[in-house]
Amino acid sequence: VAEGTPNIPYHPYRDPYKNVRTTSISLRNAMHNCADLNHVSVSVGKGHTIHLFSIDGMVDIKAAQTNIIKPLLNLTGSPFEILDGALKGGIHALNMKKAHDLSDALSGLLAGLFLIVSNEVGFSVLVDMRAPEHRSITEPTSENIIKGSKDCFVENLRTNTATLRQKIRSADLKFEEFTVGRRTNTTVALTYMDGIANDSLISSIREKIESIDIDRLISASDFETYLVDENESFFPRYIFTEMVDRFAGGILDGKVGVIIHGLPIAYIIPSTLPTIMRTTEDLQKNYLLSSTIIILRYLALFISLVFPAFYVAVSSFSQEMIPTDLLLSIIASKSGVPFDTFTEVLILLVAFELLFEAGLRLPNPIGQSVSIIGTLIVGQATVDAKLMSPIVIIVIALSGISSFILPNQDLSAAIRLCRFALLFGAAVAGLYAIVILLCLLVYHLVSLETFGVPYLTPISSSSGANIRNSAVLKQLQKNVKFRNLSVKPKNVRRQK
Amino acid sequence: MRKIIPLLLLLTLCSCSFFPHSYEIENLAVIEALGIDINENGDLTLIAVSRKGRLSEGSDANSNDTVLFTATGRTINSCLYTLQHLSDKNVFLSHAQYYIISEAAASSNLFDILDFLARDNYSRLSTAVFICRDSTAANLIAKCSNSFIADRLEKLTQERNILFSAISASMYDTLAQLDRTGIAVIPVLAADSYSDTDYITLDGCAVIRDGEFCGLLDQRTSNSLNFLKNEIYSESITIDYKGVTVAVNLTSANRTYDFKVSGNIPTSAHISVSVTATIDEFRDNDIVINEQTLDGLSDALNDEIYNRLSSAILKAQEMNIDFLNVGTYFELSYPVHFSEIKDWNKIFSTLPISLDVDTNISSSYDLNQPVKVTK
């Protein structure tokens, strides 16, 4: 325990309501000061009292009145017979279950179920009468698609599973649900195609989810932190997408998906660099066009990573490499600039990151204004004031634009971070440092694995065909007979 | 192993800090042309030509602003050292595109000069080398005070084929020739005698043997070297046909050597040159261009090329230097024989060389009728 922090021993999670009998009093005690708790007591049978609980706003009240309360009033007998009769069709609901203790009852109640309690019976009944109020399916906001389905994930897990089920109408599509978060009790659905996805991959991700022991799971990072070891690398090793068809494609390729209630995105695991470099659109265009664009993306990755460092290295150490005309132009553009090349590039890169973050966090109209002001100030004014040379602005702009071409924001951020390392290296030892740091980067990427799959698969493969497939898509109908072998699918063949 | 490899790479990176110091790009005095001369005291003089930089639009500075640095010393190294002291910026020779070496400096020891310049790791071996005739390099550079000499030389190099004026010689070519055969042919620069302005022009070639300057070839003789090297790329030549000046465009040349050998020694050589050409300009309105005319033009062109080649061969044999590279082709045909020859140039100077030129004017303007100008 670090000095100055309270010495808090580890407590294994213990549910305080486990094995506690559900009564109206115990439930009200557990939920005291919860203003959104609805509690109604009704007399049924021969003077027996039944307690009905729900969370305000989560239950469809009209449907509950029609399908639960009215039929319940018609039931006769002892409280046990009434609750047992309700479970056996006495009330009109498709989804009902028994809750044997207070813990089960509370978790169902807080999930939006309708709870029927009798103080004289040892169990309670949970009825699914949830209000269908959630954000409707809209077009994706972070991934643009021109040709293809536009439905995307929403915050509601059940809506997401239903949308996915509409894409893959197969009994082999499995959803395994887990509850993660001691306090939030968030439902996490492990999704895979039975008979295609590798069993060991499924069980390793299942174990990973089961091992998560945290208070809350309300944001993406809460889950991502536990999914992969972030100390190992800052490169993304999973794809998150809000596109249902991209997710379905990944599942059908033998990968495993994770959908979290409350998040409008889903994860495809494992993911390698070549898969991260692809988008949904790639499969919907002519394969030659898509292949060209993918190659362009790799070029953009390289430019984004290396270009600022290369400029510093060449203009400070290896001026003989620059064509004479260009050299003279650079010298002319740099005359009167008070900073050395490295400082110039560093300042502009930091300014670029500031502008990028500002544009990201601010609402759209303000973000655009910040971008325009930033462009004018950082671009035009600094050049006019001879604070920066135009050539450096061009270098940073080209590098920045290239980073935006990358389809994954996490990858783009990782590349931007590496860019700084290369820049510092270039300032120390020029091109030698760039080459050595790139070797280190490649070494790191080659040694990286996600759930047993090498990160650079299939680029790192010894097979020439696999390497070609990483960048060049083959014509779907004729050539892609087999699934990507990197995730070791149980069923390799995709078509006849 | 997983830890050792990154460690080794990081150690290598640390060792990189011993690599050369970085220079800010704006602190470089980029030398684009370097003149090498010998002054009246016998010392070497370097004239480094730089320009202030291409300034942005709207700037009041002249884009051709030339900066000249001149330094004198016993060696090139000492001259460069002095140059560095004269300039407030780092003298940067890596972008030198032209070395202009005076006749006097070339006579002293051209090989040493080029050898020194080529030893710089960052110098460009594609740098063009020129010898200046009848003038010192300093004077020649001074003549280009208004137009930047590097621009003028670039223009001359580009026009080389059009002017059919001289062969090119890069530092690499020159050193390679000197290394292989001991003989190099370098283009010569001279002040333009037809112009009162400050232009320079190409004027023949200089012959270098074993690094020593041996003599100059005039323009016509220099031209013939192009035939013997198969370096004809759409070049123009003027001939006289029945008192009419005709410009023909040479489209290709093909040369073959044939040697007769006795023992290990060649007894005679025969050079066949086959040239194809088209008519460029025909300044006569009365002569009909028919097959007879074309035959006549071919004969005239034949004579012109034959005379040029003959004079080149004669000059080479007089100088006792095989700058025509006949020896190279003999070596290709008879490598064993050639390896046993100690002094090829001596044999070359007495070798009977016969010449056969075959010219074919393959196409022309489609003129079947004389052009009559109506007054």
B13 confidence band (pLDDT: 50, 70, 90): low
Span B159-194, pLDDT tens digits = 655 545 456 678 888 888 888 888 888 888 877 655
pLDDT mean across residues, chain A: 83
- Best of B24, B30, B87 to substitute, by most chain A Cβ atoms within 10 angstroms, is B24
- Give the CA count within 13 Å in the CB-facing half-sphere of A143: 27
Neighbours of A97 (CB within 10 A): 15
Complete DSSP assignment for B110-141: HHHHHHHHHHSTTS-TT-EEEEE-SS-HHHHH
Q: Is A383 on the interface with B (CB under 8 A)?
A: no
- Mean pLDDT in residue range B201-216: 82
- Mean pLDDT in residue range B229-234: 64
Q: Which long-range contacts (CB under 8 A, 24 or more apart) does A405-408 make?
A: A405/A296, A405/A297, A405/A300, A405/A304, A406/A277, A406/A297, A406/A300, A406/A301, A406/A304, A407/A276, A407/A277, A407/A278, A407/A279, A407/A297, A408/A236, A408/A239, A408/A276, A408/A277
ipTM score of complex: 0.73
Span B297-321, pLDDT tens digits = 888 888 988 988 888 888 889 888 8
Written as one letter, the residue type at B324 is L
Neighbours of A263 (CB within 10 A): 24
Complete DSSP assignment for A393-452: HHHHHHHHHHHHHSS-HHHHHHHHHHHHHHHHHHHHHHHHHHHHHHHHHHHHHHH-EETT
* Per-residue model confidence (pLDDT) at position A6: 59
Distance CA(A247)–CA(A258), nearest Å, equals 10
* Per-residue model confidence (pLDDT) at position B88: 81
Q: Which long-range contacts (CB under 8 A, 24 or more apart) does A81-89 make?
A: A81/A45, A82/A44, A82/A45, A82/A48, A82/A50, A82/A118, A83/A50, A83/A116, A83/A118, A83/A121, A83/A123, A83/A124, A83/A125, A86/A116, A86/A125, A86/A127, A87/A125
Name the more confident of A248 and B22: A248
Span A106-164, pLDDT tens digits = 888 888 899 999 888 888 899 988 876 677 777 777 777 777 778 888 888 888 888 88
CB B260 within 8 A of CB B200: no
* Per-residue model confidence (pLDDT) at position A148: 75
CA distances to A316, A348, A396, B90 from A343, in Å: 12, 8, 13, 21
pLDDT mean across residues, chain B: 78
Question: A230, A303, A272, A225: which is closest to A459 by C-alpha?
Answer: A272
Contacts of A337 in chain B (CB under 8 A): 26
Q: Is A333 on the interface with B (CB under 8 A)?
A: yes
B58 confidence band (pLDDT: 50, 70, 90): very low
CA distance A240 to chain B (A): 30
Task: Report the residue from A315, A327, A427 with minimal CB separation from B95.
Answer: A327
Distance CA(A58)–CA(A113), nearest Å, equals 8
* Per-residue model confidence (pLDDT) at position B60: 43
Span A5-31, pLDDT tens digits = 556 655 556 677 888 888 888 888 888
For A153-198, where are the alpha helices, taking DSSP H only?
A: 157-167
List the single range of A228-232, A283-287, B3-7, B68-72 with lowest mean pLDDT: B3-7
CB contact under 8 A, B28 and A330: no
- Order of strands across the sheet that contains A37-44: A37-44, A48-55, A114-117, A124-127, A96-99
Distance CA(B349)–CA(B308), nearest Å, equals 18
CB contact under 8 A, A319 and B25: yes
List the single range of A39-53, B82-96, B230-244, B265-279 with lowest mean pLDDT: B230-244
- Best of A331, A391, A444 to substitute, by most chain B Cβ atoms within 10 angstroms, is A331
Task: Report the residue from B2, B16, B26 with minimal CB separation from A335.
Answer: B26
Q: Which token pair is A427?
A: 């300032």
Distance CA(A179)–CA(A186), nearest Å, equals 5
Interface of B with A (CB under 8 A): 2, 5-6, 9-10, 12-13, 16-17, 19-20, 22-26, 28, 30, 32, 51, 53-56, 92, 94-95, 97, 122, 124
Contacts of B23 in chain A (CB under 8 A): 316, 319
B141 CB contacts (<8 Å, ≥6 apart)?
B33, B35, B47, B49, B68, B100, B149
Distance CA(B106)–CA(B113), nearest Å, equals 8
Does the bond joining A270 to the residue before it have cis omega, within 30 degrees of 0? yes
* Per-residue model confidence (pLDDT) at position A304: 94
- Best of A334, A436, A437, A443 to substitute, by most chain B Cβ atoms within 10 angstroms, is A436
Written as one letter, the residue type at A182 is R
Contacts of A317 in chain B (CB under 8 A): 19-20, 22
For the cut 50, the answer to whether the pLDDT of residue B273 exceeds it is yes
A471 burial via Cβ count (<10 Å: 0-12, 13-18, 19+): middle
List the single range of A69-73, A319-323, B14-18, B228-232 with lowest mean pLDDT: B14-18
Q: Percentage helix, strand, coil, to 5, in chain A?
A: 50, 15, 35
- Mean pLDDT in residue range B56-75: 64
Model pTM score: 0.76
Name the more confident of B3 and B90: B90
Task: Report the residue from A331, A341, A439 with minimal CB separation from B28.
Answer: A331
Q: Give the chain A residue whose CA is nearest to the CA of B17.
A: A429
A399 confidence band (pLDDT: 50, 70, 90): very high
Q: Which token pair is A310?
A: 């290369």
Written as one letter, the residue type at B210 is D
- Best of A328, A339, A437 to substitute, by most chain B Cβ atoms within 10 angstroms, is A328
CB contact under 8 A, B95 and A320: yes
CB contact under 8 A, B23 and A440: no
List the single range of A72-76, A127-131, A358-362 with lowest mean pLDDT: A358-362
Contacts of B92 in chain A (CB under 8 A): 319
Distance CA(B151)–CA(B165), nearest Å, equals 18
For the cut 70, the answer to whether the pLDDT of residue B74 exceeds it is yes
Q: Is A328 on the interface with B (CB under 8 A)?
A: yes
A299 confidence band (pLDDT: 50, 70, 90): very high
CA distances to A18, A32, B366 from A182, in Å: 13, 19, 97
For the cut 60, the answer to whether the pLDDT of residue B62 exceeds it is no
Share of chain A above pLDDT 70, in %: 91
Written as one letter, the residue type at A300 is A
List the single range of A307-311, A366-370, A380-384 with lowest mean pLDDT: A366-370
Name the more confident of A53 and A465: A53
Q: b or e along B211-232 (b: 16 or more beta carbons within 10 Å of the residue's beta carbon)?
A: bebbebbebebbbbbbbbeeeb
Q: Give the residues across from A53 on adjacent strands.
A: A39, A115
Distance CA(A193)–CA(A187), nearest Å, equals 20
Q: Which token pair is A27?
A: 């439930």
Helix (H) or strand (E) holding B102: strand B98-102
CB contact under 8 A, A425 and B13: yes
Task: Report the residue from B5, B20, B25 with minimal CB separation from A315.
Answer: B25
